């Protein structure tokens, strides 16, 4: 007997689009978040709205319907349960009680960037890992990059310097503010880690070629066991000194390979979700 295939009315791409739509405030931000051209995203929204009553146009602007809000809530619940199921499968190679999950530069300014970006799923992957980490009772530390330039999107007065809402700090989770690429330079991060007996770091966030690599290097040099959740990071197109543009996806692969070679272990999301406390 042939087993019947399970089919979901909305595809995974449509669910991701609907979830990302709720996080962003404009077509420009949504396109940047997904790493796609605005015209492509606009057509995807149009098709989604025609196929399912989850979004609608009100005075020329797309908005979620009550059904769309409910589906997003259900999606988040599914993601949480999925993480918990995976996380209970294998014995831990990382002791959560002596480890810290660092979420670096998960700020709204990223959505304002217009350059091509790698790994459009990074934010969703971070949300998944952060939810799993919290359920395990692990310590999450959020690193906020700030600029002293009043014109910068990362200036403290800019609303774009704030954390992305779905991966923002909760409760008593520590927030570290930095002015440099490395999360260790002129911050209290090392002191916080030592005070809490944390010897292992798991790095996530933005961007792989700048703040992630710099933090991985300084973490390794300070004697911390260092991991990078590769698919929980992203970067933008890289402009070489000769002005040639190197694609974000390829450069991302090379940066992660260099981190693996020099500073720590690069693993994907599934590796961390398989961890369980022993």
Give DSSP secondary structure letters for 97-166: GGEEEEEE--BTHHHH--S-BS-TTHHHHHHHHHHHHHHTT-EEEEEEE-BS-TTSTTBTTSGGGSBPGG
Query: Hey, which residues does 117 pair with through a beta bridge?
Result: 236
| Mean model confidence pLDDT for the chain | 88
Residue 39: in which H helix or E strand, if any?
A: helix 38-51
Report d(CA 255, CA 252) in Å as an integer. 5
* pLDDT tens digits, one per residue of 174-210: 999 999 999 999 999 999 999 999 999 999 999 999 9
263 neighbors 219 (Cβ within 8 angstroms): yes
Report the pLDDT value the prediction gives residue 84, as an integer from 0 to 100.
Answer: 63
- pTM listed for this prediction: 0.68
- Residue 3's pLDDT is 52
CATH number of 12-71: 1.10.10.10
Q: Would you tell me the crossing angle of helices 122-135 and 12-23 to the nearest 10 degrees?
A: 80
Phi, psi for residue 101 in degrees, rounded to 5? -95, 120
Q: Do domains 12-71 and 93-273 have the same CATH topology?
A: no
C-alpha atoms less than 13 angstroms from C-alpha of 126 in its C-beta half-sphere: 31
The pLDDT of residue 83 is above 70: no
Q: How many helices (H) and strands (E) does the chain have?
A: 10, 10
CATH architecture group of domain 93-273: 3-Layer(aba) Sandwich (3.40)
Lowest mean pLDDT among 43-47, 86-90, 154-158: 86-90
Domain residue limits, the chain: 12-71, 93-273
């Amino acid at each position: 007997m042939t087993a019947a295939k399970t089919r979901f009315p909305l595809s995974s791409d449509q669910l991701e689009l609907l979830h990302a739509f709720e996080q962003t405030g404009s077509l420009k931000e949504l396109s940047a978040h997904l790493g796609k051209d605005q015209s492509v995203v606009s057509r995807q929204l149009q098709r989604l709205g025609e196929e399912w009553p989850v979004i609608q146009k009100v005075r020329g602007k797309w908005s979620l319907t009550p059904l769309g809000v409910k589906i997003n809530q259900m999606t988040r619940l599914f993601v949480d349960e999925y993480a918990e199921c995976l996380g209970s499968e294998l014995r831990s190679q990382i002791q959560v009680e002596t480890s810290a999950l660092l979420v670096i530069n998960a700020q709204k300014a990223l959505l304002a960037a217009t350059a091509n970006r790698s790994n459009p799923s990074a934010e969703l992957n971070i949300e998944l890992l952060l939810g799993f980490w919290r359920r395990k009772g692990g310590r999450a530390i959020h690193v906020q990059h700030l600029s002293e330039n009043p014109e910068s999107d990362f200036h403290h007065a800019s609303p774009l310097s704030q954390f992305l809402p779905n991966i923002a700090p909760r409760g008593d989770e520590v927030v570290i503010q930095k002015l440099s690429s490395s999360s260790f330079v002129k911050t209290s991060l090392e002191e916080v880690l030592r005070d809490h007996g944390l010897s292992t770091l798991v790095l996530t966030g933005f961007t792989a070629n700048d703040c992630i690599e710099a933090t991985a290097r300084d973490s390794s040099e300070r004697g911390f066991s260092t991991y990078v959740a590769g698919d929980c990071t992203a970067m933008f197109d890289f402009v070489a000194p000769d002005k040639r543009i190197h694609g974000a996806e390829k450069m991302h692969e090379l940066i992660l390979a260099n981190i693996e070679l020099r500073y720590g272990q690069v693993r994907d999301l599934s590796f961390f979700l398989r961890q369980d406390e022993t």
